């Protein structure tokens, strides 16, 4: 799907150019779920789209009773999935705020995930939702062979998701997050897991971006020459390979993968490959994500700075 031309303003909404989803978000905010049912039903055979739509809709529904009301009135697989997504999101918010209700909310979320997986046994999305909460616990299951640091983690749950959908994008990102330092992991473990998972993926897969995600996550501005890391041959080669092999695939996507494109554009720009970064920004069109730019400062300022470096227009330019 073409993202469209940049018309002077960034579009930060996570629906991006999934116009069906953007319209459904309006309905959900108004307390209506009929269009959500149709949008999720339309994604039954596209797990990437299903993950994207259910996650965005959960962010819209988390502060209302829509998910519970829908499930009570129509106990379908789609209603169960949205409830699971909403319940997990509420759990993560409570845990981040050190809310005393976090444990109770997690029990509700686990029940919701189980109900959603029972309603749709072949859908990996409820299991991905459950995997999202794994970072709240120090799960010490042994790693498979092939990892230098052999970091323990929620490997069994991750493996179950892969049996349903071997290249599930969100599952890989959720699993990698369990090894980030902010969730009790380490830089070396995150790099190890990212490299292991990225190398397993097809060359045309967005999962090849996982090492670049880990690189941003480990960024420390206090380190000497921190901004020059992306210029190292291994990282430049990684970014260029993704540009050559994965970027052309995005033309066939049902929505513009803004977050993945942003990580690629950032890596190319930091590697002094402005020509390639420009092409990625043009693929993104007006759509923007806060990551990875927020790691380096105000996301809009960082994004505008990056676009200017590539000779592209930014908001407010004369």
pLDDT one-digit tens code per residue, 180-201: 999 999 999 999 999 999 999 9
Q: What single-letter DSSP state applies at residue 153?
A: B
Cα-to-chain-centroid distance, residue 26: 22
| The pLDDT value given to residue 8 | 81
Rg (CA), the chain: 20
Q: What single-letter DSSP state applies at residue 181?
A: G
Alpha helix segments (H runs only) across the chain:
19-29, 34-41, 47-61, 66-73, 77-96, 102-119, 125-132, 155-164, 169-177, 187-200, 210-217, 233-245, 258-270, 274-284, 299-309
Q: How many residues does the chain have?
A: 318
Please tell me the distance from the alpha carbon of residue 243 to that of residue 232, in angstroms, as a whole number.
17
The residue whose two tokens read 């092409």 is 279
Nearest one of 67, 160, 80, 64 to 113, comparing CA atoms: 80
3-state secondary structure of 179: coil
Please tell me the distance from the alpha carbon of residue 302 to that of residue 318, in angstroms, as a whole number.
19
pTM (2 decimals)? 0.96
What residue ranges of the chain have pLDDT lower than 50?
A: none
pLDDT one-digit tens code per residue, 125-170: 999 999 999 999 999 999 999 999 999 999 999 999 999 999 999 9
């Amino acid at each position: 799907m073409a993202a469209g031309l940049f018309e002077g303003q960034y579009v930060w909404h996570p629906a991006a150019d999934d116009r069906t989803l953007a319209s459904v978000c309006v309905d959900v905010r108004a307390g209506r779920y009929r269009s959500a049912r149709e949008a999720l039903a339309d994604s039954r055979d596209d797990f990437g789209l299903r993950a994207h739509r259910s996650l965005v809709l959960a962010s819209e529904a988390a502060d209302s009773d829509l998910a519970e009301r829908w499930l009570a009135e129509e106990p379908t697989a789609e209603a169960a999935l949205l409830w699971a997504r909403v319940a997990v999101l509420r759990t993560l918010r409570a845990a981040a705020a050190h809310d005393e209700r976090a444990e109770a909310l997690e029990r509700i979320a686990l029940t919701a995930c189980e109900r959603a997986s029972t309603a749709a046994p072949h859908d990996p999305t409820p299991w991905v939702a459950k995997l999202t909460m794994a970072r709240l616990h120090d799960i010490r299951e042994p790693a498979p062979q092939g990892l230098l640091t052999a970091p323990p983690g929620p490997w069994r749950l991750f493996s179950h998701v892969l049996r349903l959908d071997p290249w599930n994008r969100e599952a890989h990102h959720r699993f990698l997050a369990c090894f980030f330092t902010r969730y009790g992991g380490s830089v070396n473990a995150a790099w190890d897991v990212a490299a292991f998972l990225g190398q397993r993926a097809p060359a045309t897969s967005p999962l090849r971006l996982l090492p670049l995600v880990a690189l941003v996550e480990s960024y420390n501005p206090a380190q000497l020459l921190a901004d020059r890391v992306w210029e190292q041959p291994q990282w430049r080669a990684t970014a260029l390979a993704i540009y050559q092999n994965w970027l052309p695939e995005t033309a066939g996507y049902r929505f513009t993968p803004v977050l993945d494109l942003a990580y690629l554009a950032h890596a190319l720009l930091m590697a002094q490959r402005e020509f390639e970064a420009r092409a990625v920004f043009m693929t993104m069109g007006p759509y923007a994500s806060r990551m990875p730019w927020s790691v380096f400062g105000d996301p809009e300022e960082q994004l505008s700075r990056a676009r200017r470096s590539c000779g592209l227009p930014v908001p407010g330019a004369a």
